Structure 1
């Protein structure tokens, strides 16, 4: 039902939200399916690092030294970026003392998760030292670490101005020209803040009369060097991405939750050269501005992760953001991926402002005049020529305006007005991206998306959407992906998780065995090499790049030559009796492919017609007839291409053999009886043995009980065993009659009722075990195992349960399973002896 309501509900939510981007495609078209699924058992080229620590969530890659630095709970690690699992790593133990942990616990914090030193910040400080900060049991500390020796210093710095107290609090930080730019909720019960420390001019956000940040959870920050190639001498800027509680004007939709719980995504910026005000906004940002980010459903999206590309070149800078979409009814959950260009963000920050209207107690668009220089702008060459050499030279009128108007009126909408991807039942937790150049000279953005249950989605951005190349399960047990870092030099993706760090190759081109597979994948890293007929990584191959075959845009051109499509599958033969069922396996490696079966090269087989059932794992032919004989081909149809995956030759033999000639039968003919006759003979033999054993047991028990004055109470087992509970054995196909023998009145549960036999361990000598059942028949040529019985193990006793229909032909396992389930349900409360050594049929 939800599958049909999904597009309608998303459309209603989008229509009732605040004005934003309008979708030009149905929502279902945005829900891309990963082409390949790689399970944990199929991983290749993976390396792991795991130590005694936990929460390996802080990663810093240094390409020049080929080191991956990791911050975890109570430890820091320096790993080889080439192979993180080579064992030649360096480690720093940085635990909170027992006294600090005790004080943390006394504050009401969890001493199993929170009262530790969680390393939340790890950046390069200068040419010789790293800078790290940890929560330190809710008393943050920071340290300058010698990068070469990788040891802690003798003294530490106070961290309450630089690092969050709470290890679960959103946090982001950068070291820029020796200054520390961080954003989080710092003190124990403080409001969130964007601060600059370790700088001659320490700055922070304003709190009164308007809070610039409202219960913000920070996700990401990046320095964009807008001063590079700037014709006006613009300043570099730091952009912050976060989620915060909505302003009053943003929670007015009738479909939205209450204003106290409604949260929106934001982007904010500050100028790197900001020095604060001289009299107004002293030690406060004079360039702080924020705007709303809208991806798909404004009222129900929460920012989860952001990454940036080409931040060194402002004109080409772009951001990719992951949002989680959850309605207030918690009935639908999805994720959306949107792209935002820096030019659009700059245009919004150059647009109209919002202001808080005291009378209406809400935010509204500011319609008054804007003072000069423009509030919130950085110092440029034109401003310097007018005497404004720094933010401390700005007029009081401008600074007063900045205090009251931090919010922009227009939202930042995604590129082309719609998301790139909308994925149902998936929660993305982190993402990273890298531009990849192809042999044709084009460049594509490649995204890696981590999920909350431990999967990595690899996707390439193609115009208005994305193509998910593959989904990879990187954990045997589900756990969250906390961080992702790409190393182009090592051709590796590093995954930070609660239990360790994983290193994955950026591409696994060897998985594609044919030219069709290689180009259908549309992986910018993979190309088909026609000289050696293999799919190769474009970053590692020595072949002429111009000779490589690749089609990222369409994914179906270049393999027209038959010599380049890969080897043909081996022809397999199947021979079955008329009336039997036969399964022809055919595994579709691509989730986007459609299975197509052709009979004798021309007739297309449809599901449900003429006894054919087309499934994801093959073709099932039921009640085979002579006309089913022929050549079967299994094809994968994908993106306009047809690839042969499996080929079969099926022969249906008559069920009744033709009259044999009078010549003496050969040994082979005598050894080939009808399979059904074998079943009937085997069951008849077992039934006869059961009857003989039953009569023997009854006879022995009657003789024994006759001497004691008891009637119709039978027991088996070791002498002297007492306290055993009754185990009831009855035929599978019949129900026990409720009538009791007139002579058995008063014997209660110990009597024999109808055809039911109770075996009570504890009396008599053990009966001889019955002969073992015949071994099950080997797999037949039709791919199905026909076994008319099931073996169930119970406390050391093996019960072989058989059923025959009225005509003596074994019934199918489905009806047997249903009847067995009913009997076991009746006996599930029966208490069995721990060492029951009798076997009964």
Structure 2
């Protein structure tokens, strides 16, 4: 039987995309895509070391947003969540965490206190519950000073899940807690429980026909008439009634009555009003069902309540999500319809065809019951209670077709707002979070959904865990693993033109004819000047567009473009909508795409490769959306054989500032270089001048030495001029005691001065007969001198002797090389 059902399902799925595409818009494209870096007016809150900001509770009266996270509870400012936060740290004790680890749970992800329930209890306190390292606990929070009354910890069994990954839902009605969760550590005892308050504790039976491995997602209270107040629970569970496959998961809606106190003998402390039905989100005439409900949002009050559910399915390798809308009247009709029963003889489920007891099983105690003597469920007869125990499942299904179906996306959370428009009534706006961290904003138009935009909420991929709408602040709050985000419900400033504002079909926004801008409807002083068309009549939008509400297309100034032949040309045409189609005209004729000419959707540009003279001319880009066509860009393209010498005037104007910056910079560099050259030139002249003055001394090896005031063994030449005072101290020394050096005054054997052409280069032999001057000096004499001065030493070839050798040793000891600068060498 299971194989036959599988083949049937595959056959159905094979025809989905071909047959249903005519009546259902599969995978609609969001009109706008806004990436994370382009989000405006976004505010966020997070605290280092805290994760899983998943439980959100609004307190519109006190302007507070309460957030339950992992081992922390926050009170945030609703106006700006990033400011003035308060913190309660509620950690599981180390011994509880140790026990959790010993029981085999993960110390990195499970053995913490995850806050799973946080709601207002009364005017002064809130009630909160946490997993408490797989030992759930509950307590009260004082709103006056925002502190946890940790001395009043209550057992959280049945109020909060043990496992932070398990589904859970709950709400407080008149100081009574209604919760749906698992009642034990192993997660094998599902329960819908009522605790706290004046009534006795109530819960469901532990029978598979009541709850069978459920995954709870939502609950809501609906006020009725004459005591017919009910709490509705939404969950998925493993079906027991399907003949095809009893392992299949289906979506459910269940009810219990607020005034239910159980039976007297049968169903003691158990719900006598518990009923459940299958919640079907399916495609008409195709028997294709979205079986797993992920989240439910209730819109409206009382009998006018509408439920919006998001569903997930997987068809082959494709993840598919859908949105279905259910009316409370349809749910009530199913609960008032036939029951389903398990037939022992046939071992299968079918419709109950026998007589239904009176009072009707599953009913609340209403005015009719009171008039007939049943003032409480304790007074219901056993026949009614036994039937209710064995027949919790209804035979009919609450069935609706999807409003929206999206492929390759997993919807996680949904919130809905009802918005009044200018003159076309009210519309329901959906905010849908995804597992990849995106938010879809959509509007229901008739029986379809138009996705206004998609927003990337996070820089890194993470699921949207919770959504809350503040009607007083006109703000959407998003809870995630990393923090809380605050977004405006309306951002009309992103629509910069009439056609963009009108074609967006955003109920929050309208075009102001007087101010010539897109404005938020509910914050505008008058709606008389506003233009809005959610139904999107193309003819009407086109007429309004051509009535000069915006500058007409023929006034759009063309952009001049010059391109070199043989290169590639890219002409951008930025389309503000993903739904718009582009059309290009070349010289007022439709542009034919060919090899080397194509439209790049990623660049939003027309690309022409290997441009030639035939591509020169006038290009126009048109955008067409919903039957409205208008010009987006105009270009005048010129093709030249080579790079032009003179740039276009417009280009010169754009680059004039850059040119002046370059000219000034180069001028400053040139001045610096010129100054450096002049300085070096002056220094070089000074050095060359010194070199010219020293040329007469280049033939002399000069060392700084000490000499006596008068040379020893000095014998004046007979041929010397009597007036010559060469060896006179006055002529021989300067006033500071330095020896005067007179080139060419060395004495020859004949008493005459040495020839100026004598070889005086160090290390070269002198002419024969050349003598030292002064005669026969020794190193010892030099060292013994008490004065400092300079003397020219001409080393001959014959009389170098001991002095020459001693002098070389002294030079070597002083690390003075023979080719060193004579003026800087010393002995």
> For residue 202 of structure 2, what is the aligned residue in structure 1?
203
Structure 1 position 237 matched with structure 2 position 230: yes
Aligned pair partner of 2:578 in 591, 595, 608:
591
Contact 2:281 2:290 in 1 (8 A): no
Structure 1 position 317 matched with structure 2 position 305: yes
Structure 1 position 132 matched with structure 2 position 128: yes
C-alpha distance in structure 1 between counterparts of 2:634 and 2:251, whole Å: 54
Deviations 1:778-833 (A, max 9, x none): xxxxxxxxxxxxxxxxxxxxxxxxxxxxxxxxxxxxxxxxxxxxxxxxxxxxxxxx
C-alpha distance in structure 1 between counterparts of 2:168 and 2:288, whole Å: 23
C-alpha distance in structure 2 between counterparts of 1:447 and 1:130, whole Å: 29
Shift of 1:653: 2.7
Shift of 1:667: 14
| TM-score, length of structure 1 as denominator length | 0.72
RMSD: 2.4
Shift of 1:378: 1.2
C-alpha distance in structure 2 between counterparts of 1:611 and 1:135, whole Å: 62
> For residue 580 of structure 1, what is the aligned residue in structure 2?
567
Name the CA shift for 1:301/1:666 in 2 (closer, same or farther; >3 Å). closer
> For residue 683 of structure 2, what is the aligned residue in structure 1?
none
> For residue 82 of structure 1, what is the aligned residue in structure 2?
79
Deviations 1:527-558 (A, max 9, x none): 1011111101112222x113211001116435
> For residue 383 of structure 2, what is the aligned residue in structure 1?
397
> For residue 518 of structure 2, what is the aligned residue in structure 1?
535
After superposition, residues 738-777 of structure 1 pair within 5 angstroms as none
C-alpha distance in structure 2 between counterparts of 1:618 and 1:656, whole Å: 23
After superposition, residues 381-530 of structure 1 pair within 5 angstroms as 381-414=367-400, 418-440=401-423, 442-530=425-513
Deviations 1:688-714 (A, max 9, x none): xxxxxxxxxxxxxxxxxxxxxxxxxxx
> For residue 35 of structure 1, what is the aligned residue in structure 2?
31
C-alpha distance in structure 1 between counterparts of 2:184 and 2:601, whole Å: 59
After superposition, residues 668-679 of structure 1 pair within 5 angstroms as none
Name the CA shift for 1:168/1:518 in 2 (closer, same or farther; >3 Å). same
Partner secondary structure for residue 37 of structure 2: helix
Partner secondary structure for residue 295 of structure 1: strand
C-alpha distance in structure 1 between counterparts of 2:628 and 2:26, whole Å: 23
Name the CA shift for 1:38/1:389 in 2 (closer, same or farther; >3 Å). same
C-alpha distance in structure 1 between counterparts of 2:269 and 2:594, whole Å: 75
Contact 1:426 1:451 in 2 (8 A): yes
Shift of 1:608: 2.7
Deviations 1:66-103 (A, max 9, x none): 110000000000000000012x1110000011111000
> For residue 325 of structure 2, what is the aligned residue in structure 1?
339
| TM-score, length of structure 2 as denominator length | 0.73
Contact 2:227 2:259 in 1 (8 A): no
Partner secondary structure for residue 343 of structure 1: helix
C-alpha distance in structure 2 between counterparts of 1:290 and 1:61, whole Å: 30
Name the CA shift for 1:41/1:459 in 2 (closer, same or farther; >3 Å). same
C-alpha distance in structure 2 between counterparts of 1:656 and 1:212, whole Å: 82
Shift of 1:570: 5.0
Name the CA shift for 1:527/1:608 in 2 (closer, same or farther; >3 Å). same
> For residue 357 of structure 2, what is the aligned residue in structure 1?
371
Aligned pair partner of 2:43 in 44, 47, 52:
47
Partner secondary structure for residue 25 of structure 2: helix
Deviations 1:437-495 (A, max 9, x none): 11115110110000001000000011111000000001011001000001121111100
Partner secondary structure for residue 338 of structure 1: strand
Q: Where in structure 1 do 4 or more consecutive aligned residues deviate above 6 Å?
A: 8-11, 665-668
Partner secondary structure for residue 397 of structure 2: coil
Contact 1:607 1:614 in 2 (8 A): no
Contact 2:190 2:213 in 1 (8 A): yes
Name the CA shift for 1:92/1:353 in 2 (closer, same or farther; >3 Å). same
Shift of 1:106: 0.4
Contact 1:14 1:298 in 2 (8 A): no
Shift of 1:294: 1.0
After superposition, residues 655-734 of structure 1 pair within 5 angstroms as none
Deviations 1:343-375 (A, max 9, x none): 111111111110012233321111111111111
Deviations 1:623-662 (A, max 9, x none): 33333222212121100111322221111234799xxxxx
Contact 1:493 1:506 in 2 (8 A): yes
> For residue 182 of structure 2, what is the aligned residue in structure 1?
185
Contact 2:497 2:550 in 1 (8 A): yes
Q: Which 5+ residue runs of structure 2 have no aligned equivalent?
A: 1-7, 649-827
C-alpha distance in structure 2 between counterparts of 1:279 and 1:53, whole Å: 49
Contact 2:546 2:552 in 1 (8 A): no
Partner secondary structure for residue 346 of structure 1: helix
Partner secondary structure for residue 70 of structure 1: strand
How many residues are paired up? 626
Aligned pair partner of 2:338 in 343, 352, 355:
352
> For residue 12 of structure 1, what is the aligned residue in structure 2?
12
Partner secondary structure for residue 382 of structure 1: helix
Q: Which 5+ residue runs of structure 1 have no aligned equivalent?
A: 1-7, 17-21, 228-232, 253-257, 658-664, 669-841
Contact 1:30 1:420 in 2 (8 A): no
Name the CA shift for 1:465/1:524 in 2 (closer, same or farther; >3 Å). same
> For residue 223 of structure 1, what is the aligned residue in structure 2?
221
Name the CA shift for 1:13/1:561 in 2 (closer, same or farther; >3 Å). closer
Contact 1:264 1:298 in 2 (8 A): no
Contact 1:138 1:166 in 2 (8 A): yes
> For residue 298 of structure 2, what is the aligned residue in structure 1?
308
Contact 1:30 1:465 in 2 (8 A): no
Deviations 1:169-200 (A, max 9, x none): 10000000010000011211342111100132
C-alpha distance in structure 1 between counterparts of 2:403 and 2:307, whole Å: 12
Name the CA shift for 1:277/1:321 in 2 (closer, same or farther; >3 Å). same
Shift of 1:206: 1.4
Contact 2:264 2:378 in 1 (8 A): yes
C-alpha distance in structure 1 between counterparts of 2:80 and 2:646, whole Å: 66
Name the CA shift for 1:533/1:109 in 2 (closer, same or farther; >3 Å). same
